Amino acid sequence: MIKMKIIKTVTLILLIGIFIMPHLSAQSSPDTEPLSDLPEIGDELIRIYEDLLGDEEYLKSDDFFYDDSLIDDQTLVPDDLSNDPFTGFNNQGLIYEEDDYYFDEEELFYVPPTITIEASPIVENRSFDDLFPGLSPNLKAYVFSNDGLKYAFDKDETPLLAPNPDSGINLLTGVLEKSPSHIIEALVVVPYGLRELDMLDVYNALGRIEDIKDHTVSVNGRETVIFTETTRLESSRNRRPVPDPPPADTLPYVETMYLRFRDAYMGNLFLRGVTAISLYGITYSLTNFTDIRYFIIPIMKAERFTAILYLEPVKEGVLVYSMSGLYLPGFIADRINLTTNINRRITVLINWITESLRKQERAL
């Protein structure tokens, strides 16, 4: 069985090299040209997998999750490629089958705890220092800058930021439930402009999913697109794109949505988003409900990435605190610039939130 898997995997890699890779190279455009530190990722992953396919101990480990049931005569379609390297395909070249990645919507997912405090319906905004007391002036300056403060650490290390235990903010527990190998936290305060925003404003700002694709990051002095498409989906099984809803008049207690982010370098990312309302703020969690692959090479199992964002209108502006966790096998994580690449995607999300809040200020 192991030898058969090795033969199938090597054959599949060769087929992709023959049929798909030349096409993607020929069809690249300035907006989707790989970042300078990313082209090596694909070549390096293939070299890593070629080395490990002969390692019988690795093939029996939890890190190996190649599914040869996805490989059949109908799987590869090398002669039906459009100018968009992802059109008609799911994660990098495999035809999508509805039952391949079924997710039971009744399964448990992380919903952050609400803050239970007996108080009047009108709650006074807290200050930044109420939530993050004792932060040094240097770190605080980063928090109030446009880029915010970001910090990466491994699962056995300590976060840089420590919310006040009485604040009711605890993102770390939800992230650790996914047993990540790497964690990145970020904190930024978006100052008010035209007017102060309330929680309904924040909720409606988060609803502009289609706008995420409009934000770029600077790479080597060039503005680069990370997400070429961002859309809501009808459900986890029916992945038909649906438009963002109109602005809401009331806040839902808990809301679940399904999203597709088309990453310029990793293809389709299928995410489950859960919004939960508490007394002071809104928690928004994102989790991958399918495997993440680089072409057909699996680099992350389903449910092993999570990004939890907490947004609260405070006296100084809208506080955006996030913590992202992901698990990558060591043989991959040791060979790519993981922190830089994840930071760029977090930067896109923060820029999207900031601009969405600015649009909400103008929406009277």
Q: Is residue 334 included in any domain, yes or no?
A: yes
pLDDT band at 270 (very low <50, low <70, confident <90, very high): very high
- Among 28-42, 185-199, 256-270, the minimum mean pLDDT is found in 28-42
- H or E segment and range at residue 222: strand 222-225
Q: Is residue 102 included in any domain, yes or no?
A: no
- CATH number of the domain residue 160 falls in: 3.30.530.20
Q: Is residue 96 included in any domain, yes or no?
A: no
What are the two backbone dihedrals, phi and then psi, of residue 297, each rounded to the nearest 5 degrees?
A: -85, 115
Please give the model's pTM, rounded to 2 decimal places.
0.70
Burial track 238-273 (b if 16+ CB lie within 10 A, e otherwise): ebeeeeeeeeeeeeeeeebbbbbbbbbebbbbbbbb
Checking if the pLDDT of 97 tops 80, the result is: no
- Report percent pLDDT > 70 for the chain: 66
DSSP string, 119-154: --SS-PPPPHHHHSTT--HHHHHHHTSSS-EEEEEE
Query: How many whole angstroms from its chain centre is CA 327?
Result: 13
Cα gap 311→319, rounded to integer Å: 5
Cα gap 258→234, rounded to integer Å: 7
Q: Is residue 35 included in any domain, yes or no?
A: no
- Tell me what the mean pLDDT of segment 54-81 comes to: 44
Q: Is residue 286 included in any domain, yes or no?
A: yes
Cα gap 182→106, rounded to integer Å: 28
pLDDT band at 226 (very low <50, low <70, confident <90, very high): very high
- Report percent pLDDT > 90 for the chain: 49
Q: Is residue 71 included in any domain, yes or no?
A: no
pLDDT on residue 16 = 42
Cα gap 22→66, rounded to integer Å: 24
Angle between helices 199-206 and 338-362 (to 10 degrees): 120
Domain that holds residue 177: 128-362
Q: Is residue 229 included in any domain, yes or no?
A: yes
Query: How many whole angstroms from its chain centre is CA 304?
Result: 11
- Among 105-119, 196-210, 223-237, 328-342, the minimum mean pLDDT is found in 105-119
Q: How many domains does the chain have?
A: 1
Q: How many residues does the chain have?
A: 364
Q: Is residue 166 included in any domain, yes or no?
A: yes
